[in-house]
Amino acid sequence: MIAKAARVAAWLLVFGAAFLTLGPQRMRPATGIDHDLEHGLAFALVGLAFGLGYARHRIALVLAAVAGIGLMEILQQWVPGRHANVRDFVVNALGACAGIAAAALLDKFRRRKAGG
CA distances from residue 85 to 14, 24, 44, 78, 109 in whole angstroms, order as listed: 19, 16, 18, 13, 36
Cβ count within 10 A of residue 47: 29
* Extents of the domains making up the chain: 2-115
Asked if residue 51 lies in contact with residue 61, where contact means CB atoms within 8 angstroms, the answer is yes
Total number of residues shown for the chain = 116
State pLDDT tens for residues 23-76: 887 877 888 999 999 999 999 999 999 999 999 999 999 999 999 999 999 999
Does the pTM exceed 0.85? yes
Query: What are the two backbone dihedrals, phi and then psi, of residue 66, each rounded to the nearest 5 degrees?
Result: -60, -45
The whole-angstrom separation of Cα 116 and Cα 101 is 23
Report which residue type is found at 50.
F
